[in-house]
Amino acid sequence: MSKHFVPENLPTHLQHYINGEFVDSIGGQTFDVQEPVTNTNYATAASAQPADVDLAVAAAKKAFKEGPWSKMLPRERSRVLHKIADIVESRDEELSLLESYDSGLPITQAKGQARRAAENFRFFADLIVAQVDNSFRVPGRQMNYVNRKPIGVAALITPWNVPFMQESWKLAPAIATGNSVVLKPASYTPLSAGLWPEIFREAGLPEGVFNLIFGSGSVAGDYLVKHPDVPLVSFTGDSSTGATISTAAAPYFKGLSLELGGKSPAVVFADADLDAALDATVFGVFSLNGERCTAGSRVLVQRDIYDDFVTKFAQRAKNIRVGLPSDPKTEVGSLVHPKHFEKVMSYIEIGKKEGRLLAGGGRAEGFENEGNYVAPTVFADVAPDAQIFQDEIFGPVVAITPFDTDEEALELANNTKYGLAAYVWTSNLKRAHNFAHQIDSGMVWLNSNNVRDLRTPFGGVKASGLGREGGYRSVDFYTTQQSIQITLNEAHSPKFGV
Known catalytic residues are 259, 293
Got the DSSP string for 307-363?
A: HHHHHHHHHHHHH--B--TT-TT-SB---S-HHHHHHHHHHHHHHHHHSEEEE--SB
Strand pairing category for 180-184 and 153-157 = parallel
Of 168, 125, 128, 183, which Cα lies nearest the Cα of 150? 128
Got the DSSP string for 130-143?
A: H----EEEETTTEE
Strand pairing category for 465-466 and 16-18 = unpaired
Expressed in angstroms, the distance from the first to the final Cα of the chain is: 93
Does a cis peptide bond (omega within 30 degrees of 0) precede residue 457?
A: no
Phi-psi region of 222 (alpha: psi -120 to 50; beta: other; left: phi over 0): alpha
Taking the CA atoms of residue 222, residue 226, residue 231 and residue 236 in that order, the dihedral angle to the nearest 10 degrees is 20
242-to-6, 158, 248, 390, 446 alpha-carbon distances in Å: 34, 12, 10, 18, 28
Query: How many Cβ atoms sit within 10 Å of the Cβ of residue 240?
Result: 11
In sequence order, what E strands does 411-477 have?
Answer: 421-425, 443-446, 465-466
252-to-64, 221, 247, 387, 480 alpha-carbon distances in Å: 19, 16, 10, 36, 16
Q: Is the CB of residue 351 less than 8 Å from the CB of residue 357?
A: yes
**DSSP category for residue 374:** B
